[in-house]
Amino acid sequence: MRGPGRPRSDQARDAILDAAFQLLEENGLERFTIEGVAARSGTAKTTIYRWWPGKGALAMEALLAHAELTVPIPHTASAVADLRTVLDGIARSFAGATGRVVASIVLAGQNDPATLKVYHEKVVEPRRQRLRDIIERGKRNGEFRADLHVETLVEAMYGALYTRLLIRFSPLDEPGWMDRHINQLLEGALPRPLCSQGA
Amino acid sequence: MRGPGRPRSDQARDAILDAAFQLLEENGLERFTIEGVAARSGTAKTTIYRWWPGKGALAMEALLAHAELTVPIPHTASAVADLRTVLDGIARSFAGATGRVVASIVLAGQNDPATLKVYHEKVVEPRRQRLRDIIERGKRNGEFRADLHVETLVEAMYGALYTRLLIRFSPLDEPGWMDRHINQLLEGALPRPLCSQGA
DNA sequence: CCATTTCGCTATGGTCCGTTTCGTAAGTGT
DNA sequence: ACACTTACGAAACGGACCATAGCGAAATGG
């Protein structure tokens, strides 16, 4: 089914994507350069330009090909515990090399809507959907309020992760952080009147 | 008290900062160039390099000089209402030109820790402190739980704003969004047993 | 063997960086 | 008035990188 001609070199392709990922985690996307990728991968610049339209697309594919973006989908009896598992997994991956690359991609997207769109479809949406599923299950369980607005909760949980990644209020691997965050999101801020004694 | 020599031209300074802010909101920081600023401001590149070490610092100062980052500090009887006011103000400013510039700054900060540090000190921390104050007041009022972890709530609220700004899950000016978000953060996700009837 | 396609190499013109040089403008002290 | 000091504007520089093009060599299918 493949037509005539020299086939594309998978070796070159892999070398390019590997080099791209390495350079992204070393320097971030600001100093990420096609020529740098060519040099480190041992390939020619022209080969890169033949297959990728620009640095945004290349960085994106390097991320998708290389990152451990596939957190396992837990499904235990407790929706809260599953939530914790998923969010912990994301936090761990954000705290490492993948996090820096993700940050580069997201921020590159500010001036490259196409790249940001792909990131949405390939990374953000699937993950959000996973959270949604878990929360819906929790609502059916009775673990969560029946009138809970799922999107809002998803946004709050995801938002904290991305904010720590990008703005760096505080480190992503601060011990106990995620537990505290989840607990408070679930419990809310308003005082809970005790049933045994009115307030 | 001013030594000898030609004094610095405030006119040139203002022209540079204005031009920088304009170009930031037009193109974002990716295509933000010192030479572009020089051209639009009608000054020379050397003048810019005399006073600013690089594009990060210039962009930062342009933001600080130009943006309406000073949201008024409300202080009514209700801490919840004040919270709403402050967050609404930030959301509005993020939804406009300032938001795009802020996004650029954060982007620049990923590879320019010094700039990100200044952003923290000059913008992030003061705003966070304002939120903290309001929440503490709410705790004293009894509007909030006494054992509320203030930092976590601040992070959740701020986080949603930055995430909408940078990741663009959904628009910052979506009607009713902020109210829903605040309400749910305050009320939590767990079911609230009615006092009159046990569960 | 030949057509086709990719690969690596070597330019090319262009933009922007960050710096330097140089002549000129605008203040200070004596 | 005069020297001194500092900032401004214009021009040019080497360097990095972009995006593209031309070329010969390599690798496949027919």
For residue range B48-71, list pLDDT tens digits in order: 999 999 999 999 999 999 876 677
Mutate to test the interface with A, among B110, B150, B164 (most CBs of A within 10 A): B110
Distance CA B188, CA B183 (A): 8
The residue written with tokens 């902020």 in the block is B178
Range A5-25 burial, b when 16+ CB lie within 10 A, else e: eeeeeeebbebbbbbbbbbbb
Query: Would an 8 Å CB–CB cutoff place B187 in contact with chain A?
Result: yes
Query: Would an 8 Å CB–CB cutoff place A197 in contact with chain B?
Result: no
Nearest protein residue to nucleotide D20, judged by CA and C1' positions: A46
Instruction: Please tell me the predicted confidence (pLDDT) of residue A193.
Output: 65
Could you read off the pLDDT of A57-103 as tens digits, one per residue?
A: 999 999 999 876 667 788 999 999 999 999 999 999 999 989 999 99
Distance CA B95, CA B99 (A): 6
Q: Distance from CA of residue A158 to its chain's centroid?
A: 9
Q: Which nucleotide is nearest to B47 (CA to C1')?
A: D8
The chain-wide mean pLDDT, for chain A, equals 90
Count of beta carbons in the 10 Å neighbourhood of residue A86: 19
Residues in B closer than 8 angstroms to A186, CB to CB, are 188-190
pLDDT for B100 beyond 60: yes
Assign A198 a pLDDT band (cuts: 50, 70, 90): very low
CA B55 to C1' C23, whole Å: 28
Total residues found in chain B within this entry:
199
Using a 7 Å CB cutoff, list residues 53-112 of B near strand C.
54-55
pLDDT for B29 beyond 80: yes
B36 in contact with nucleic chain C (CB within 7 A): yes
Give yes or no for a contact between B107 and B141, defined as CB atoms under 8 angstroms apart.
no
Range 98-157 of B in CB contact (< 8 A) with A: 100, 103-104, 106-108, 110-112, 116, 120, 124, 128, 142-146, 148-149, 152-153, 155-156
* Cβ-nearest to A166 among B106, B142, B184: B106
Quick one: tokens of A137?
């299950």
Distance CA A37, CA A63 (A): 14
Instruction: Please tell me the predicted confidence (pLDDT) of residue A196.
Output: 47
Assign A109 a pLDDT band (cuts: 50, 70, 90): confident
Q: Which nucleotide is nearest to B53 (CA to C1')?
A: C18
Of B47-56, B89-98, B185-194, the one with minimum mean pLDDT is B185-194
Instruction: Please tell me the predicted confidence (pLDDT) of residue B7.
Output: 96
Range B80-108 burial, b when 16+ CB lie within 10 A, else e: bebbbbbbebbbbbbbebbbbbbbbbbbb
Amino acid identity, position A141: N
pLDDT for B30 beyond 90: no
pLDDT, mean of residues A124-128: 91
Tell me which chain A residue has its CA closest to the CA of residue B99.
Answer: A110
Give yes or no for a contact between B189 and A188, defined as CB atoms under 8 angstroms apart.
yes
Q: Distance from CA of residue A126 to its chain's centroid?
A: 10
Instruction: Please tell me the predicted confidence (pLDDT) of residue B199.
Output: 39
Could you read off the pLDDT of B142-164 as tens digits, one per residue?
A: 999 999 999 999 999 999 999 99
Query: Would an 8 Å CB–CB cutoff place A39 in contact with chain B?
Result: no
Whose CA is closest to A162, among B155, B105, B101, B175?
B155
pLDDT for A35 beyond 90: yes
Instruction: Please tell me the predicted confidence (pLDDT) of residue B116.
Output: 86
Domains belonging to chain A, first-starting first, are 10-66 (1.10.10.60), 79-186 (1.10.357.10)
* A111 with B184: Cβ contact below 8 A: no
pLDDT for A23 beyond 70: yes
pLDDT for A126 beyond 50: yes
pLDDT for B193 beyond 90: no
Q: Report which secondary-structure segment, H or E, holds B170.
A: none
Higher-scoring residue by pLDDT: B117, A197: B117
Q: Which nucleotide is nearest to B39 (CA to C1')?
A: D9
* A188 with B193: Cβ contact below 8 A: no
Give yes or no for a contact between B17 and B61, defined as CB atoms under 8 angstroms apart.
yes
> Helix or strand or coil: residue A70?
coil
* B186 with A184: Cβ contact below 8 A: no
* Cβ-nearest to B181 among A103, A152, A181: A152
Instruction: Please tell me the predicted confidence (pLDDT) of residue A19.
Output: 98
Assign B197 a pLDDT band (cuts: 50, 70, 90): very low
Query: Would an 8 Å CB–CB cutoff place A30 in contact with chain B?
Result: yes
Assign B112 a pLDDT band (cuts: 50, 70, 90): confident
Higher-scoring residue by pLDDT: B14, B71: B14
Residues in A closer than 8 angstroms to B184, CB to CB, are 148-149, 152-153, 156, 188
The chain-wide mean pLDDT, for chain B, equals 90
Higher-scoring residue by pLDDT: B113, A53: A53
Mutate to test the interface with A, among B31, B129, B134, B155 (most CBs of A within 10 A): B155
